[in-house]
Structure 1
Amino acid sequence: MAIPSFVDRVQLVVRAGNGGNGCVSVHREKFKPLGGPDGGNGGRGGSVIVRVDPQMNSLVDYHRQSQRKATNGQPGMGEHRAGANGEDVVLPVPEGTVVFDADTGQVLADLTGGLSECVVAQGGRGGLGNEALASRTRKAPGFALLGEEGEQRTICLELKVIADVGLVGFPSAGKSSIIGAISSAKPRVADYPFTTLVPNLGVVKAGDHTYTVADVPGLIPGASRGKGLGHEFLRHIERCQAIVHVIDAATYEPGRDPLSDLDAIETELGAHGGLEDRPRIVVINKIDVPDGRAIAEMARPDLEARGLRVIATSVMTGEGLQELVFAMSELVRQRRIEQAAAPPPRVVIRPRAVDDTAGFTIKRQGDGEGGFVWRVRGAKPERWVRQTDFGNDEAVGYLADRLNRLGVEDELLAAGAQPHDTVAIGSGEHPVVFDFAPQVEVGAEILAPRGEDQRLNQPRGAVRRRREREAAHRAEHEAPVAEGDEADWRRLRDTRSEQTPAGFASEVDDVEVEWVGGDPYGSGDDGTGRDHD
C-alpha cells in the first residue's frame, strides 16, 4: 500500500526510559577495610519530547511506525560513580500540531507561537545509591533504591495548518484554481469533484504585506455527518484570520444557487464550531462562463444585505483576482491589529512544591464478605513503594521509617485502623499489601537505626587494646580496701589540699614519706619524714 504524501492525524504509543537502580557498595582499599559506602546513584531514564521542526509540513513520518521508546538509565556503580542518563527521543512535528492524550482526550500541548516543544512521557528517576542514603545514624546502608519506571501513554498528534485565510466551498467551485492563480502554489486541478484531498497552502503578497492562504477540500451538505470527505479538514482553518466562501456561478445542478450554497456551507461551519467570529468574504467564481456574470449580479444584493462583501472573479481572465488579494490582505491586517491590541491574559503564578509532603489520602474500601482494606494513595508513598527492594529487609525497614515520618501511621490510627488490618499502598493491579503494625507494638525494634553496619562501630585493634588497659587500670585502683583501712582510705581520698614541693600533704601530720635514694627535691628530707638542718 502506498504511503500518503500528506498525513494530518496519527496515533502513537510513547514510552519513556526507566531509571537506573542505585548501587550497594562499600569502599575497599589497602589499610582501609571499612572505608564506608560508595555506591552511586542510578541514571535518569530518557524522555519522549515532541518538538516543532519548521522544515516539516506533514505527519507522514509517523504513519507506519506508531511506537517510540526512549532508552533506560544505567545503574549506579561503586567508587561513587553514577549511572549514565538515558537518551531522550525527539519527535519532530510541523508547527501547529496539537498533542492529545488518546485515552482521556486532554490537550497536552498546542505547539504554536512561542511553545516549541513539550515532554509527553517523562523518564523515570534513578534510584539512590547507599552512599546517598548514609546518615549519622545509618552509616553504611546495606540497600539502595530502585529506579522508577518511565511514563507510558498513547498520544494523538493532530496537525492544524497555520494560515491567515481559508478558502471553503463546494467541490469544483474553483478554490484550488484561485490559490494557484494568486500564489506560487501548484495545487492539483481537474474537472471532477473532490480533486483536492489534502489542504493546499499558498503565500500571497499584496503590496508590502504578505500572508498565507489555505485551500480546504470541498464540503457538501451533510459533511458534519460524514458525507463526502466529512468536515474533519475544517480544523485546518481554525487558526485562520478570515474565511472566504468560493461559490460556483457555473453550476447547473438542480436546487443550487449562490445563496443556497452559502447557507449550506455556513451550516457545516456551524456544526464544526469555533468559527463564528471570523470575518467573511464571498467570491462568486467562474463569471467567464455563459450566464455566470448575470448570476453573480443577481445574487449580489441579497449577499450584501447580509453584510458580506461580494467579489466576482474569473481565474481564466484574471478578473477580480487583484481585488480579492487586497481585500483578503485588509481583513488579515485588521485582524492582526485587533489581536495585538487585546490585553494579554493575566497569568497567576501559584508555586507548588515538587514533592508535596501532605499529598496522600487514606480510605477504607471493601466492607463486604471479603473483608476490607485501608487504601493509601499519594504521589510520595506510591513512589517510595516503587523504589523499594522488598527482598532486602533493611530497605523494607527504611520504607517503614519514611512512611512513619510522613504521617501515614498516625493517619491510619486516626481513621480507626487496628493492628493486623490490611493496608494497601497504590492502585491498579499490583498494589503493595501488608499487615498494619503500629509503632507502639513494635517497641524498641523501631528505635534502632535501620541500615546501620555494626562493623563500622567497632574500634580498631590498637584503640580497643588501649581501652581495655585503661578499664583494667581503673578497676584495679577502684577495688574496695580492707574494712580496717576504710576510714583512712576515705580520708585520704577526700583530701583536697595541694601537694608541697617536699612531696607530702601539709595538712596531714601522720603521713611519713620515705624516699628511696634520697630526697629528689633537695629539701634535706632523708626519707623518714625528718628534716636535717
Structure 2
Amino acid sequence: MTTFVDRVELHVAAGNGGHGCASVHREKFKPLGGPDGGNGGEGGSVILVVDSQVTTLLEYHHSPKRKATNGKPGAGGHRTGALGPDIVLPVPDGTVVLDRQGNVLADLVGHGTSFVAAQGGRGGLGNAALASARRKAPGFALLGEPGEARDIVMELKSVADVALVGYPSAGKSSLISVLSAAKPKIADYPFTTLVPNLGVVTAGETVYTIADVPGLIPGASQGRGLGLEFLRHVERCEVLVHVLDCATLEPGRDPLTDLETIEDELAQYGGLEDRPRLVALNKVDVPDGQDIADLTRASLEERGYRVFEVSALAHKGLRELSFALAEIVAAARAAKPVEESTRIVLRPTAVDDAGFTIEEEDGAYRIRGGKPERWVRQTDFANDEAVGYLADRLARLGVEQELWKIGAKEGDTVIIGPDENAVVFDWEPTMAAGAEMLGRRGEDHRMETQRPAVDRRRERQRGRDAAEQEYLDFEALSSGREQLDQ
C-alpha cells in the first residue's frame, strides 16, 4: 500500500463568475423606475497553502481533480450574487508547482506560503452598474467569466540542511536514527528505505535537519532503481554526506568505488556541484571495516574530503560528525541574505501599449489581448444591444482604427481570441450591431413610450408655458417697435 507520494499530477478548475442581471425597478404608478439588476458573484479559486503538518502528496494521488464552486448570478433590487467559496489545498513544505511543460510556477517554502493555482472567474456586471448619463436604461447585463482550469504537476523536495547519500544498505537509516530522534525502518537487505526520512539534530546551539535519501545505484539519474524518484530531495540541502560502507561483502565494491559511482550519478543529475561534501566511513565497529577505513582514509583526504570514521551501532565518531555538519550549516545560513519584508512591485503599463494586437492569418485578422478577449467572454451574443455595447468598447479601445491602418476592408473576417474559444465575424466599420433598432444606443425605448401620466402632463405644461412666454416676448417686441415709430 502506498504511504508516501512526492509527485502528482492535479487538474484544478476554478469556479465560474455569476452572470449579471438585467432588471427594471417596478412599483405602483412607476412601472419602469430604472435599471436595478445586481452584479454576479465571483467564482471560487483553487489555492495551494503550505501546511507544516502535511508531509506527503498522497491525498492528491487518490483525488487528482479539484473544482471550486461557481459564483451566483445577480438579481433585481440591486442584489449581488453570492461569492463562490475558495478551495484551500494544504501541501507539504518544499512543494514545487510546475505546468505540463515543466515550467516552474511556484516554489512553496515556509509555513503559510500560498499560490493561486486557478483563479476564479469575475462576476458579470448587472444593468444597474452599466447605467450612465449616456446609457440610462441598459437592456442587457454582462456574463460572468469562466474560471481558470489547467493541469499542474506538484513535486515535493524535502527541506533539509543535510542529505545522507550512498548505496543501499550503507547504513544511512541507522546513522540518522542515532543522530536524531527519527525511527526509520532498518533491515539487512537492500532498498529497505522506500521514502526519505527526516530527523532533527541538535549540535551545541545549532539545530538542523538531516534527510536519509533512499539508496542510489548506478543509473539512478536515468531512472534506475529509486534514485530518480528521490534525487530531488537533496536539491535544497546545504551539505552532502557520503555514507560509505566499509563492511560490504559484495564483489567489486569498496568505499572509493562507491564514492565515484555516487558522485557520477549526482553530476549527471546536475545542480549539486556547489554543495560541500563530507565522507562518513561507516561500520568501523566491524574488524574488517576498521581495516578498510584505515586503507582508504588517506586517499579520500588527498581528494579534499573531510573524513569521519563512524559506527551507528557503537556510537563512534557521531559527535565529531554532528558538530562538523552544524558548523557548515551555520556558515551557510549566515551567508544567506537577510529576507526583507514583502514589497509591492508596481509594473505600470507602457505608454505605447495599446492593450491588444492584430495579426493577419490566412486572409483573416486575429485580435489578441486581455481586454478584447475578456469583453468577448462577457458578451451575451443573443442580445443585440449587448453586441452593440461590445462594438462600442472595441471602437473606444482603438481596434477599428488599427484595422483601418493595417489595410482591413469592409467584409473581411475578424477573429477575437484563441482558436479554442474564438468569436468570428465579418467586419463592418460602422457596425452598430442592431443597437439603432432600439433608438438611442444603450437605452430602452419603452422608457419613453410608457412613462407615467403625471410625467406626460408635466411635459405638456412645460410646452404651454414655453409657448405663452414666446407670445409675451413677441408682444413686448411689437410694443417697443411702435414706440420707436412714434
Provide the C-alpha distance between the structure 2 equivalents of 1:477 and 1:331, rounded to a whole number of angstroms: 98
Cα deviations by residue, 1:62-101 (Å, 9 ceiling, x for unpaired):
1211100000000000000000000111110111111111
Opposite residue 397 of structure 2, the aligned amino acid is L
Q: Which runs of 5+ in 2 are unaligned?
A: none
Does the 8 A contact of 1:50 with 1:117 survive in 2?
A: yes
Does the 8 A contact of 1:23 with 1:128 survive in 2?
A: yes
**TM-score scaled by length of structure 1:** 0.84
**TM-score scaled by length of structure 2:** 0.92
Are residues 350 and 79 of structure 1, via their aligned partners in 2, closer, same or farther at CA, if it must alter by over 3 Å? Answer: closer
Provide the C-alpha distance between the structure 2 equivalents of 1:239 and 1:494, rounded to a whole number of angstroms: 100
Provide the C-alpha distance between the structure 2 equivalents of 1:446 and 1:323, rounded to a whole number of angstroms: 89
Are residues 232 and 70 of structure 1, via their aligned partners in 2, closer, same or farther at CA, if it must alter by over 3 Å? Answer: same
Are residues 337 and 365 of structure 1, via their aligned partners in 2, closer, same or farther at CA, if it must alter by over 3 Å? Answer: same
2:479 alignment counterpart: 495
Are residues 476 and 266 of structure 1, via their aligned partners in 2, closer, same or farther at CA, if it must alter by over 3 Å? Answer: closer
Are residues 357 and 402 of structure 1, via their aligned partners in 2, closer, same or farther at CA, if it must alter by over 3 Å? Answer: farther
What secondary structure, in the 3-state scheme, does the structure 1 residue paired with 2:200 have?
strand
Provide the C-alpha distance between the structure 1 equivalents of 2:106 and 2:22, rounded to a whole number of angstroms: 40
The alignment status of 1:362 with 2:362, answered yes or no, reads no
Does the 8 A contact of 1:138 with 1:453 survive in 2?
A: no
Equivalent in 164, 170, 188 of residue 167 of structure 1? 164
Does the 8 A contact of 1:231 with 1:268 survive in 2?
A: no
Aligned length: 483
2:294 alignment counterpart: 297
Deviation at residue 31 of structure 1 after TM alignment: 2.7
Deviation at residue 440 of structure 1 after TM alignment: 8.6
Are residues 431 and 293 of structure 1, via their aligned partners in 2, closer, same or farther at CA, if it must alter by over 3 Å? Answer: same
Matches within 5 A, 1:302-317: 302-317=299-314
Cα deviations by residue, 1:442-488 (Å, 9 ceiling, x for unpaired):
99959964220233346643453454466568779989xxxxxxxxx
Equivalent in 253, 256, 259 of residue 253 of structure 2? 256
1:407 alignment counterpart: 398
1:485 alignment counterpart: none
Q: Which has the higher contact order (CA 8 A, sep 6+)?
A: 2
Provide the C-alpha distance between the structure 2 equivalents of 1:477 and 1:184, rounded to a whole number of angstroms: 101
What is the aligned-residue identity percentage? 60
Matches within 5 A, 1:56-71: 56-71=54-69
Matches within 5 A, 1:147-158: 147-158=144-155
The alignment status of 1:243 with 2:209, answered yes or no, reads no
Does the 8 A contact of 2:93 with 2:111 survive in 1?
A: no
Matches within 5 A, 1:207-218: 207-218=204-215
1:390 alignment counterpart: 381
If you compute each CA radius of gyration, which structure gives the higher value, 1 or 2?
1
The alignment status of 1:15 with 2:10, answered yes or no, reads no
Deviation at residue 225 of structure 1 after TM alignment: 2.1
Does the 8 A contact of 1:357 with 1:406 survive in 2?
A: no
Equivalent in 346, 352, 362 of residue 348 of structure 2? 352
Q: Which runs of 5+ in 1 are unaligned?
A: 367-371, 480-489, 498-504, 510-533
What secondary structure, in the 3-state scheme, does the structure 2 residue paired with 1:291 have?
helix
Deviation at residue 32 of structure 1 after TM alignment: 2.1
Does the 8 A contact of 1:137 with 1:449 survive in 2?
A: no
Does the 8 A contact of 2:30 with 2:452 survive in 1?
A: no
Deviation at residue 19 of structure 1 after TM alignment: 0.2
Equivalent in 323, 327, 341 of residue 324 of structure 2? 327
What secondary structure, in the 3-state scheme, does the structure 2 residue paired with 1:85 have?
coil
Deviation at residue 353 of structure 1 after TM alignment: 5.1
The alignment status of 1:190 with 2:181, answered yes or no, reads no
Does the 8 A contact of 1:282 with 1:309 survive in 2?
A: yes
* Range moving further from structure 2, 312-321 or 149-158: 312-321
Opposite residue 407 of structure 2, the aligned amino acid is G
1:514 alignment counterpart: none
Opposite residue 365 of structure 1, the aligned amino acid is E
Does the 8 A contact of 2:435 with 2:442 survive in 1?
A: no
The alignment status of 1:461 with 2:461, answered yes or no, reads no
The alignment status of 1:378 with 2:369, answered yes or no, reads yes
* Bigger helix fraction: 2
Does the 8 A contact of 1:43 with 1:84 survive in 2?
A: yes
Provide the C-alpha distance between the structure 1 equivalents of 2:465 and 2:15, rounded to a whole number of angstroms: 64
Are residues 7 and 492 of structure 1, via their aligned partners in 2, closer, same or farther at CA, if it must alter by over 3 Å? Answer: closer
2:423 alignment counterpart: 432
Opposite residue 360 of structure 1, the aligned amino acid is F
* Range moving further from structure 2, 454-463 or 111-120: 454-463
The alignment status of 1:142 with 2:139, answered yes or no, reads yes
Provide the C-alpha distance between the structure 2 equivalents of 1:303 and 1:424, rounded to a whole number of angstroms: 68
RMSD over aligned Cα atoms:
3.0
Provide the C-alpha distance between the structure 2 equivalents of 1:166 and 1:415, rounded to a whole number of angstroms: 61
Provide the C-alpha distance between the structure 1 equivalents of 2:371 and 2:13, rounded to a whole number of angstroms: 22
Cα deviations by residue, 1:397-440 (Å, 9 ceiling, x for unpaired):
10111111111111111111111111111112341111111029
Are residues 24 and 474 of structure 1, via their aligned partners in 2, closer, same or farther at CA, if it must alter by over 3 Å? Answer: closer
Equivalent in 243, 265, 278 of residue 268 of structure 1? 265
Deviation at residue 506 of structure 1 after TM alignment: 8.3
Does the 8 A contact of 2:242 with 2:280 survive in 1?
A: yes
Deviation at residue 151 of structure 1 after TM alignment: 0.4
Provide the C-alpha distance between the structure 2 equivalents of 1:140 and 1:205, rounded to a whole number of angstroms: 72
Provide the C-alpha distance between the structure 1 equivalents of 2:130 and 2:469, rounded to a whole number of angstroms: 46
2:22 alignment counterpart: 24
Equivalent in 66, 71, 74 of residue 73 of structure 1? 71
Are residues 114 and 507 of structure 1, via their aligned partners in 2, closer, same or farther at CA, if it must alter by over 3 Å? Answer: same
1:224 alignment counterpart: 221
Provide the C-alpha distance between the structure 2 equivalents of 1:450 and 1:268, rounded to a whole number of angstroms: 71
Are residues 81 and 478 of structure 1, via their aligned partners in 2, closer, same or farther at CA, if it must alter by over 3 Å? Answer: closer
Are residues 344 and 213 of structure 1, via their aligned partners in 2, closer, same or farther at CA, if it must alter by over 3 Å? Answer: same
Provide the C-alpha distance between the structure 2 equivalents of 1:506 and 1:80, rounded to a whole number of angstroms: 64
Provide the C-alpha distance between the structure 2 equivalents of 1:474 and 1:291, rounded to a whole number of angstroms: 120
What secondary structure, in the 3-state scheme, does the structure 2 residue paired with 1:132 have?
helix
